[in-house]
Structure 1
Amino acid sequence: MPETEPVESAPQNPSGVQSPSDGQSTPVVPSPASTVSPAAAQGAAALAIRGLVKRFGDKVAVGGIDLDVPTGSFYGLVGPNGAGKTTTLSMATGLLRPDAGQIWLHGVDVWQNLVEAKRLVGVLSDGVRLFDRLTGEQLVTYSGLLTGMDRATVDERVSDLLALLDLESAGGTLVVDYSAGMTKKIALACAMVHAPKVLVLDEPFESVDPVSAANIRDILKSYVGSGGTVIVSSHAMDLVQRMCDHVAVIAAGRVLAAGTVDEVRGGSTLEDRFVELVGGRHHAEGPEWLRIS
């Protein structure tokens, strides 16, 4: 299996990842491929990925990712635009077939047992169209029935979720008429209705107002506290630092660092560490004509 490539030369300490700027080792979780066998990872991780590759024509979107997401963790996936986050999550949840590699959800090989794997995961995909000519209540009900639950159970859960997400008054409104924030919340309800073991959320707080975002965070923390696992892809570093207990930094389709938030960020903020790892920051005042005084 391919190993996660270090940012610089391979460190002597296998539990470190080299910083591109200072060459110092920052303690992170060891590269999964080099320290954990796939069989062990299946039992220990909610999500285990080995050697994941995806190409679109000549472009390599994901270039051999290895990653373990511990069961019961609140895991953040961060990276610049085009880093491969959404592609990775799409393959991990059975939405996009990989060119190479293996993925397990709680020990179930996703692409060998796709139906079984999909029962274990709830997905909120950024930008994916919903059946928006249904009402909110109808959409969540439809999502629940697709999983094979009986109608009485679905009805009870739909009622609970609409109340939990402050959508009771909008339950009879067509989703096409929802605001962006309401659409995000109803999509989250669809992802949660079958009580999955893993929630995979791509930019779940984008376009969501602060009050709704706070309520969603409380719901997700309660879900993790009860034994569930949440994987969040986000550009909001401060949000990830406050909300997540584990994080992986991805750029150019590879994992640059992974571990607990404290391990990855070291003594700095997650945002500073992210910029240090990814690079590309320009210290400039801008053109003279843009300066007002």
Structure 2
Amino acid sequence: MFWKFLDDVNFIARCKKYNIGLWQCPNFLFLAMGFLTVVAMFGTYFASKSFDDETVTIVSVTIVAAIILTIGSLIIRGVERIAEANVMKNEFISIVSHQLCGPLSAIKWNMEVLENDEFSDHLKLTSKQEVFLKNIKDANDKMLKLVGQLLEVNRIDEGRAILKSENIDLGEIVDQTIAELNELILEKEIEVKRRIAPDLPLVFADAAGMKTVIKSLVSNAVKYSRQKGKVEVDLKSTGRKIIFTVKDWGVGIPRYQHRKVFEKFFRSANEARYRTDGIGLGLYLARSIVENSGGKLWFESEAGKGSTFFISIPIAQKQF
């Protein structure tokens, strides 16, 4: 708690985070105004005690009020600057992402045509050329995924995220997700232990969103596990909720970084050594989707010992 308080009042780090000067940084200005207010209270009190002339007290109070109003104006300007920068950032991400979607989608469609058996037989590609095409396709898919994440983050930040909630079977989604990640699982020789309780009730949530969340958590567990490691996936019913758990014995997350895990663009220092793709949006999106579905996402982790992520989702009121 004490270290958290020190981190909260560390205005220098906060100002550097937003890349603004001290006299434009709301954190510093709030602390300065608070300090000045306390000093002014004591100063006015002692001035009134030391001088019988009421004019001195009136002048001192007026000066203090003017200084506080000036700092207040600077705070407002600082907040406005941050708000304007945020709006500009969202607009930039939205424009760039939409502009990238077209060319990337065109590349994807053309790659699918080239991969068509009839077309590829006509081209008579060599094995090396087929590898090159696969590399292009994989890189393009990663870019499309990244652009999709940026667009979704932008929608969430602007309150425009669209979720189509319906009764869904989470067990079925978990099975589909593990099957889709089979190539990655085999590549790292990971043993995935899957435990899904029988006859689980349905949940009322967005199917595509929950699949995105579960895929993000399971793929992270596999990617951050050591070669020939183990991952456990568990799905069970507890009261009026369904609890999904994914546990790995990988690199884990240092305790001092726990509070930043669900922030945008967060990458743990020790995890970054194990893979190069991804920009730290998966967990931010996952928590937003889960919370918009009325659920909760949390985790337990220790550096060097692995991580466990939990999802709690209310079951659907009508089971059909």
TM-score by length of 2: 0.22
Larger relative contact order (Cα-Cα within 8 Å, sequence gap ≥ 6): 1
Would you tell me which structure has more strand in proportion to its own residues? 1
Would you tell me which structure has more helix in proportion to its own residues? 2
TM-score by length of 1: 0.23
